[in-house]
Amino acid sequence: MGKMKVNLCGIELDNPVIPASGTFGFGYEFAELYDINVLGTFSFKGTTKEARFGNPTPRIAECEGGMINAVGLQNPGVDRVISEELPKLKKCFNKKVMANVSGFSVDEYVHTCALLDKCEQVGWLEVNISCPNVHGGGMSFGTSPEAAAEVVRAVKAVTVKPVIVKLSPNVTDIVAIAKACENAGADGISLINTMLGMRIDLRTKKPVIANKMGGFSGKAIFPVALRMVYQVAHAVNLPVVGMGGVSCAEDVIEMMLAGAVAVEVGAQNLIDPYACKKIIEDLPRVMKKYGIENLNDIIGGVL
């Protein structure tokens, strides 16, 4: 069997497969189906300073090639995540977990990251800068190099664990954002978050979700995600976590060739809850098929 271990920001993973935030809950829900310790790690549900109910329903809809969602970061808030969710997870997962953090101001990011940084179970902080900046006119932090850098600098000032910044694809120049995060002290970059999409129900003549627009994810966005991973991985000197439309072991290999050290799987978990387990089990076959003995040898293999 080929070697599947990779190193993400100084922490070794048994394999590069990571369920993406928002598609795997807090982990213990999936532990009822299979031993989630087979995973490299996983990124838990996006966590904010205060509890959030999320957006009105309907907020998830299937469409050709993927799905549109506008869940709205529903979560119990960081205090309850630490006091209730992480203890449940500890009973079924013995590896470090990736804490996904969202916020609507720099102060919120700082508060939430500082608390999660102190949790023994947390290995990495995945900071989602796709959220609207309530003090900056509602534009996403991730659409401006300056705003992205401000969040990174502030979070790094109160944390010691690796900070991986999750980027939005809804920008003109993804490389400029990534470089700004690198210069501000980020330890890694993860991309891409969902693309902004919309569908209309012809019978009702209304958008299929109450929020009108939402995040488009699924197999259809894979080529866009791959392109952005390639661009960013070749522009920064940081480990990159690739994601966006990944649904099989071949996609994982492709992402790694583009420059990803590890690969997150998102929407596919909602289609098949065993998706990540199946991908991990199939990786040795695909590696053998393409003559890959060690996954580390192929990272960034496309010039």
DSSP letter for each residue of 282-293: HHHHHHHHTT-S
Closest CA relative to residue 188, chosen from 217, 156, 223: 156
Closest CA relative to residue 243, chosen from 291, 188, 289: 188
- In residues, how long is the chain? 303
The four Cα atoms 220, 188, 121, 88 give a dihedral, to 10 degrees, of -20
131 in catalytic set: yes
Closest CA relative to residue 162, chosen from 139, 188, 135: 188
CA atoms within 13 Å, Cβ hemisphere of 53: 3
With tokens 């966590």, the residue in question is 47
Catalytic residue among 9, 92, 131, 248: 131
**Angstrom distance (rounded) from CA 210 to CA 42:** 29
Closest CA relative to residue 27, chosen from 118, 93, 77, 82: 93
Q: For residue 274, what are the CA distances in angstroms to 90, 197, 261?
A: 20, 27, 22
Closest CA relative to residue 45, chosen from 106, 126, 144, 157: 126
Closest CA relative to residue 134, chosen from 157, 104, 163, 178: 104
Q: Under DSSP, is residue 159 helix (H, G, I), strand (E, B) or coil?
A: coil
Active-site residues, by number, are 131
